[in-house]
Amino acid sequence: MQITWYGHSCFRIDLDEKRILIDPFLTGNSVFEEAGIPVHEVAKDITHLVLTHGHDDHTGDTVSILKESDATLVATFELASYLQGQGVEKAEYMNTGGTLDLGEFTITYVPAFHSSSTMVDGKPVYLGPACGVVIKPKDGKCVYHMGDTDIFSDMGLINEMHKPAIGMVPIGDRFTMGAKSAALACKRFFDFETVLPCHYKTFPIIDQSADPFIAEMVGENVVVPKVGEPQSF
């Protein structure tokens, strides 16, 4: 299994036969754009596009990517319905607690403490619950993308039920956990083999470095990925 980070909360997971793109906010993502990688290269040959929630800095290029590929959208009912109204054809609807078996891997949606909406004609439109995503390959390590969230005690249940080995953890503060709360979540509730920090540096109003999180995570295996460079697990 290979995992590649593309800035903010966008990750790609490459398995043997399936290729999963999560939260493809690419256009307008300063960290991604600085790397000079074409969007079509990120989306090449993907089979599934998974969204944690409906904010624009997570849905990003979803519609344009799916219009140009044969990939299937996986999202909450409200979000998938909304995006199908924007021209997305293939979608799998999910909701919190549900598991979808896609052969080489399963997806389970778990709670996240956040919101989910988009602006239409100057007004917010509700797009279902914000979620985290647990991805379990048939042969490979379990991955937990937290989405955007605060720390919450039921993270302990997520660990008990799914035992994720790899955590994709938002650390940027203001809209998600900051360094201290994200580190506490990882150390108190999980037994991650590897932690991949995300949701930082993209905008001036969130934390600009993973260094405070790394300092809080002394003794833990934090890997700060470089944009566009795949890592094998």
Rg (CA), the chain: 16
**Phi (first) and psi of residue 197, to 5 degrees:** -70, 150
Could you read off the pLDDT tens digit of each residue along the chain, which spans 233 residues? 999 999 999 999 999 999 999 999 999 999 999 999 999 999 999 999 999 999 999 999 999 999 999 999 999 999 999 999 999 999 999 999 999 999 999 999 999 999 999 999 999 999 999 999 999 999 999 999 999 999 999 999 999 999 999 999 999 999 999 999 999 999 999 999 999 999 999 999 999 999 999 999 998 999 999 999 999 99
Q: Are strands 19-22 and 48-50 parallel, antiparallel or unpaired?
A: parallel
Q: Are 127 and 54 in contact (CB under 8 A)?
A: yes
- CATH, domain 2-224, list 3.60.15.10, 3.40.50.12780, 3.50.50.60, 3.20.20.370: 3.60.15.10
Each domain of the chain, given as residue ranges in start order, spans 2-224
Q: Are 9 and 147 in contact (CB under 8 A)?
A: yes
> What's the CA gap between 130 and 113, in Å, rounded?
7
pTM score of the predicted model:
0.98
The DSSP call for residue 222 is B
